[in-house]
Amino acid sequence: MRKTTLLAIAGLSLLASNVMAAVKSEPVHYEYDGTKLTGYLYYDDAVTEKRPGVMVVHEWWGLNDYAKHRAEMLAGLGYVAFAADMYGDGKVTDKPEQAKEWMTEITSDVDAWRGTALAGLEQLKKSDKVDPGKLAAIGYCFGGGTILQMAYSGTSDLKGIVSFHGSLPSAPDGTEINTKVLAFHGNADAMVPPATVSKFMGQMEKTGADWQFVAFGGARHAFTNPDAGKYGIENLKYDEKADKRSWAGMQAFFNEIFQ
């Protein structure tokens, strides 16, 4: 009887511990070139040791709930995740015209584009919860293009980057890439046509980087986002298989680079 009671108490203690442990989030206010930015740090408060950090860069809609949810998912896997802000001033929209305007504004100046992204990475790097020697970045659509620009900047802070249905900007001639690159693409993505893909791959090959490109047949742009269809754009469509396979591929990639 006493043994049974002790086992019951131990079970309840374990249950209570699991209930108390949860993914936490906190805002991080920072600035780049006079623009005030607010990102969000996500982490499992049950983990006390330093762990790998992953930066998340949002789609062209701004730092919305989707990007934050992906950061939360990463924290649930044991990483510290930072959902970075590329626009500032709380800019979030569901209007394609407005999103295009904001995206064009930042992508028209490549140095500012890269600088804003790297400022977000710095916020993740200096967190006392993060192992600064184990950093990665992932990005969606515009965010995928953004993390590629981070790689093209020559930064050595990142172990690897993962682009999900990214815009695939090409690396300039002479670019030195010091991070491993993994890109997931929808083969039916009309926003990133075959000519863009071909140029991207050709330039990546010239750099001599460690890179991998995975295309999902029939998948369109934004294939990881369950809400992709609500924006009224035919080329945006969720694809459950591509979503799950790319997320699993990302995890395998992280297991490799964070060894």
* Domain spans in the chain, listed from the N-terminal domain onward: 23-257
What tokens were used for 258? 């964070």
What letters, b where the CB count within 10 A reaches 16 and e where it falls short, cover 195-210?
ebbeebeebbeebebe
* 173 vs 176: CA distance, rounded Å: 9
122 burial via Cβ count (<10 Å: 0-12, 13-18, 19+)? middle
Strands 80-84 and 35-44, how do they pair? antiparallel
* 95 vs 93: CA distance, rounded Å: 5
What tokens were used for 139? 């990005």
With beta carbons less than 8 A apart as the criterion, state whether 44 and 78 touch.
yes
What pLDDT is attached to residue 10? 41
* 198 vs 194: CA distance, rounded Å: 6
Strands 160-164 and 180-186, how do they pair? parallel
- Dihedral (Cα; 234, 238, 242, 246), 10-degree rounding: 110
What pLDDT is attached to residue 21? 61
Q: Which residue has the tokens 């934004």?
A: 222
Sign of CA pseudo-dihedral 108, 55, 83, 220: positive
User: Strand, coil or helix: what is 184?
Assistant: strand
The rounded Cα 232 to chain-centroid distance in angstroms is 24
- Looking at residue 44, the DSSP 8-state letter turns out to be E
What pTM did the predictor assign? 0.92
What pLDDT is attached to residue 9? 37
Q: Which secondary structure element, helix H or strand E, spans residue 131, and what is its range?
A: strand 130-140
Q: What's the topology of domain 23-257?
A: Rossmann fold (3.40.50)
Digit-by-digit pLDDT tens for the chain (259 residues) are 444 433 343 443 333 334 446 899 999 999 999 999 999 999 999 999 999 999 999 999 999 999 999 999 999 999 999 999 999 989 999 999 999 999 999 999 999 999 999 999 999 999 999 999 999 999 999 999 999 999 999 999 999 999 999 999 999 999 999 999 999 999 999 999 999 999 999 999 999 999 999 999 999 999 999 999 999 999 999 999 999 999 999 999 999 999 9
